[in-house]
Amino acid sequence: VGVGIRQSVLHMNANDVLEFLIAGASAIQVGTANFMNPRVCPEILEDLKSFMRKEKIRSLKEIIGSIKE
């Protein structure tokens, strides 16, 4: 298991999560961002859902590792 570290970890958002997923991550650690914004997880999830609806993506499995395609 590898963990990617971002300098912007305190201000993580759905775009950061999408980058990790596209690169092949199947789990993303948000932890520290909760100290800056206790609602960061629900916000990220809602933004991911919106992105997926807009792009007609049915499952995160379609995103994970998609940079390879």
The CB density around residue 20, as the number of other CB atoms within 10 Å, is 19
pLDDT value of position 36: 86
Output Rg (C-alpha) for the chain, integer angstroms. Answer: 12
Residues in the chain: 69
The pTM (predicted TM-score) of the whole model is: 0.79
pLDDT in tens, 11-66: 789 998 999 899 998 888 888 888 888 999 999 999 999 999 999 999 999 999 99
The rounded distance, in Å, linking the Cα atoms of 62 and 39 is 26
Cα(33)–Cα(35) distance, integer angstroms:
5
